[in-house]
A and B are shown apart, each in its own frame.
Chain A
Amino acid sequence: MFGHFPLWPENASTNAGNVDALYIFLLMVSGIMTVLIFTVLTAFAVRYRKRKGQRAEQIEGSHQLEITWSIIPFCVMLVFFIWGAVIYFQERTPPQDATEVYTVAKQWMWKFEHREGQREINELHVPVGRDVKMIMTSQDVIHSFFVPAFRIKQDVLPGRYTTLWFHATKPGTYHLFCSQYCGTQHSGMVGWVVVMEPRDYEAWMSGGGNQPLAVTGQKLFSELGCVTCHRSDIQGRGPNLVGVFGKPVLLEDGRTVTADENYVRESILEPGAKIVKGFKPVMPTFQGQVSDEQLNALVAYVKSLAAPQSGRPANANGMAVAAPKP
């Protein structure tokens, strides 16, 4: 029963090493502080225990000392802050060319869809040595995607995308936990992240003859009638979507937003929220008509239109593309 008794989590990503280093630093500094305080307390407790005929010596206090033991710890804490902030920045800034995995969480399972179309539940296959970006949303309550071996975690919210990325460094099978309490089977909402050698990963990816996500999205794009307004040959009633993704978009109210996953998602579900300059709020909402999986496919498709030269699905009409208007 007690055969396996680890005291440290596995280290299987580039981030894990960074967090461990910070953790060890924090442990050392706070360890020194604890030992210092405990030693002084013990020393005082022994040295100044009550003795016959000896009275306590009254001391007013000392501003110098108080300032010293405020400023020095604060400076040390600033180091904690900066170091932690640097790691957080890295964790929250996914590299541009990361492999993307769309994730839909629901009570109580994880559904993953790879860009190439593979779908899996509670098991996530990723290659070693490559950046992987998770684009996540929830179908019901708030969940949280937590892989201890990668030292990363991100809450997964209903109604929007949150993202997270990692770079696995060691093939193996690692725990995936839902760490945000989500109801009855919260502790059953667990799975595995399987980190594979690139060769094994390619083999795994090519099995099954799946349809790439963007192609699924392209089909939906015409089935749902999006293509009638969002034309890519001439300007339709809706903005031309070619080359839009990842770029700034000027809105009717003067704001500029970046066309990211959340922007595309919102524009499908709540078209009136952000109107592109020069267009009218005529698009009907697709709230309740498309599932989270279908939304992911649509987002993947719009994303695939960002750089039409790089051999991905052609635009909706398979025709030459006009320069995108803002």
Chain B
Amino acid sequence: MAIADVSDSGERENYLNAGHGLKSWLLTVDHKRIALLYLISITFFFFIGGLFALLIRLELLTPAGDLVQADTYNKLFTMHGQVMVFFFLIPGVPAVLGNFLIPIMIGAKDLAFPRINLLSWYLFIIGGTLMIYTILNGGVDTGWTFYTPLSTEFLKTNVISAIVGIFFAGFSSILTGLNFIVTIHRMRAPGMTWNRLPLFVWAHYATSIIQILGTPVVAITLVLVALERLFHLGIFNPALGGDPLLFQHLFWFYSHPAVYIMILPGMGIVSEIVCCFSRKRIFGYRAMALAVLGIAVIGFLVWAHHMFVAGISIYAALIFSLLSYFVAVPSAIKVFNWTATMYKGSITYQTPMLYAFGFIGLFTIGGLTGLFLACLGMDVHVHDTYFVIAHFHYVMVGGMVIAYLGGMHFWWPKISGRMYPEGWGKLAALIVFIGFNLTFFPQFILGYMGMPRRYYAYPAEFQILNVLSTAGATILAVGYLLPMVYFLWSMRYGKPAPANPWNAAGLEWQTHSPPPTFNFDEQPVVTWEAYNYDQIDEIPETEEVRVGH
């Protein structure tokens, strides 16, 4: 448990000052630097996608389609979805926090394939550049779902460049997953057995399985859309003997599990935070690890619940409805076990813990409303309405984004070597929570009332709820901008971070903040279980003081 050197002199060499100049960043093979490259890239895409979202909400302030043209609106929601899903939510936690933390958490010097790691960032950038080209070249209006035959035969926009961009981003995702799986199998420090892995690592292991098995399917499917568009092959177009539902099956075969690519790493983050700020070992480690694997596996068997009104047979619908309930069981275990972890804890409320609370609450609502959508008779009414929009934003924003923000605050001292301002952090967490609920809760009601999604003009009786939602979105925007500002501020003015500001378990807290290029001064040997807070808290208070400045 000894920390080689916890007092950080400004001169100590770390991964940030190990090289200088643009080249030292663009050609780096250090997983931590690549994580930062990803952080900058996905933050850029997050704000692009967020800008589209804000324009969508502004248009929906009034029932008439008055702010933008119908075609512009269609492009806005399409590009909001594509940018957010493929260039923020999916790479988000794995490529930034996973990339930075997994090698350190398991006591390795780097990922198994550092150059492939860099390659995956470049693939992401190629994909992202194509997406930006798509946007600047007039946009694309297929909906992020690319449903055929609309996308293949009827739209005149930049469908192919968007598809090629997403294709590249997909391969970036596959390579990241591959790298993680090999790293977790082969690079663990002596003593870091599977049963001692932090749940963050387990969550990324499960995520990587989905990335490797699912992403190729959507990549091929989108290529088929592009080929059909170019050469009219007749795969999806019924006029040429194709089947438009085939596209939906293939698309959702990836895109439903993709939801778990987004949420599982977030669950990993929450497990780390809840344990640390409750000073507790996780309640039911084994169940928590099995649950993420269970979600990853069962998640592959539920895709057609997106198609209950698409024209599939009653019997197929029955099976997919039932299987969808199976995937809810491990999700429920996670929520209950986090709650149980707090039992008899010694809880403090720093910013990361506020986000963890937010995650559990919002994911609960997102998960429970998922049960409505898995319910056949219910889904027929609310499918393709704002109920669905609200549900998946509760999971993706209330889940993934909240967890990501929590994780960024938790590990920011490690990443940057600086503390963020705690007061501002708490304020931003509160603003995000309020803004989020105000934005998306009214949409559940709108959905049950029957407001269809992707409408830029709507009947007047839906207006008040839409005004509330737009008001919430502006608050949410403030909540997102604040951390961006104070994280940047803290890089220069923040208090220097000690090696272990939270007195947390996990190997990443036993090396310097920020870590040296090869992560540890000497090879760590693990003799303890994850979340050994009983042992950590046995250290007298005075030693904790030694850590801080």
Give chain A's interface residues, CB within 8 Å of chain B.
1-2, 4-9, 18-19, 22-23, 26, 30, 33-34, 37-38, 40-41, 44-45, 48-51, 54-63, 65-66, 69-70, 73-74, 77-78, 80-81, 83-92, 107, 140-142, 144, 146, 148-149, 151-155, 157-160, 162, 175, 177-188, 270
The answer to whether B120 has its CB under 8 Å from any CB of chain A is no
Q: Give the chain B neighbours of A40 by CB distance below 8 A.
A: 339
A84 touches B377 (CB 8 A): yes
Known: A5-B464, A9-B449, A34-B364. 6 other contacts (CB 8 A): A7-B445, A9-B448, A41-B342, A44-B342, A77-B371, A188-B70
Within 8 Å of chain A (Cβ to Cβ): is B369? Answer: yes
Given A66-B337, A187-B70, are A54 and B332 neighbors across the interface (CB < 8 Å)? no
**Shortest beta-carbon distance from B269 to chain A in Å:** 17
Known A-B contacts A41-B342, A180-B147; the reply to A1 vs B311 at CB < 8 A is no
Interchain CB contact under 8 A, A50 and B244: no
Residues of B within 8 Å of A162, CB to CB, are 311
In-complex Cβ contact of A55 among B279, B311, B342 (8 A): B279
Chain A residues within 8 Å of B378, by CB? 19, 22-23, 26, 84, 87
Q: A59-B344, A69-B332, A188-B457 are in contact. Are A83 and B445 (CB under 8 A)?
A: no
- Say whether B544 faces chain A, with CB atoms less than 8 Å apart: no
Q: Chain A: interface secondary structure? A: mixed
Q: How far, in angstroms, from A186 to B381 measured CA to CA in the complex?
A: 18
Name which residue of chain B comes closest to A143, CB basis: B150
Q: List 29 A-B contacts (CB under 8 A).
A: A1-B463, A2-B463, A2-B464, A6-B449, A6-B461, A18-B377, A37-B339, A38-B364, A41-B339, A45-B342, A50-B279, A56-B533, A59-B343, A61-B337, A61-B340, A62-B283, A66-B284, A73-B329, A74-B329, A83-B375, A84-B374, A158-B149, A175-B450, A178-B452, A181-B143, A184-B141, A187-B70, A187-B452, A188-B457
Min CB gap B492→A, angstroms: 31
Task: Take A49-B348, A146-B450, A162-B311 as given contacts and tell me if A151 and B381 are in contact as well, using a CB distance cutoff of 8 Å.
Answer: yes
How many interface residues does B have (CB within 8 Å)?
94
In the bound complex, CA of A261 to CA of B249 (Å): 24
Chain A residues, CB < 8 A from B314: 88-89, 92
CB < 8 Å neighbour of B364 from A37, A157, A270:
A37
Question: Which B residues are CB-close (under 8 A) to A60?
Answer: 281, 284
* A186, B461: Cβ atoms closer than 8 Å: no
Nearest residue in A to B282 (C-beta to C-beta)? A61
Q: Which 6 A-B pairs have the closest CB atoms?
A: A148-B450, A87-B377, A159-B238, A61-B284, A84-B375, A88-B376
Decide: A141 and B150 in contact? CB cutoff 8 A. yes
Chain B residues whose C-beta falls within 8 Å of the C-beta of A155 in the assembled complex: 309-311
In angstroms, Cα B537 to Cα A43, docked, is: 24
Set of chain B residues within 8 Å of A83, measured between Cβ atoms:
375, 377
Q: Least Cβ distance of B353 to chain A in Å? A: 9
The listed residue (A48, A65, A66, A179) touching B345 by CB distance below 8 A is A48
User: Are B343 and A48 in contact, with the CB atoms below 8 A?
Assistant: yes
Cα-based distance from A140 to B280 in the complex (angstroms) = 59
The contact of A23 among B309, B361, B448, B533, by CB within 8 Å, is B448
Within 8 A of A (CB), among B242-290: 244-245, 278-287
Residues in A with CB closer than 8 Å to B155 are 183
Are B333 and A85 neighbours in the complex by a CB distance under 8 Å?
no
Any chain A CB within 8 A of the CB of B384? yes
B355 at the interface (CB under 8 A from A): no
Cα distance A254–B372 when bound, in Å?
42
Distance between Cα atoms of A305 and B322 in the complex (Å): 41
> Which of the listed residues B143, B285, B380 has the most CB atoms from chain A within 10 Å of its own CB?
B380
B346 contacts A84, C-beta separation under 8 Å = no
- The reply to whether A66 and B346 contact each other, CB–CB distance below 8 Å, is no
- Give the docked Cα–Cα distance between A175 and B65 (Å): 18
Task: Give the residues in chain A near B239, CB-CB below 8 Å.
Answer: 158-159
Asked whether any CB of chain A lies closer than 8 Å to the CB of B480, the reply is: no
Cα A158 to Cα B148 with chains together (Å): 10
Inside 8 A of A179's CB, which chain B residues have their CB?
383-385, 452-453
Q: Least Cβ distance of A213 to chain B in Å?
A: 23
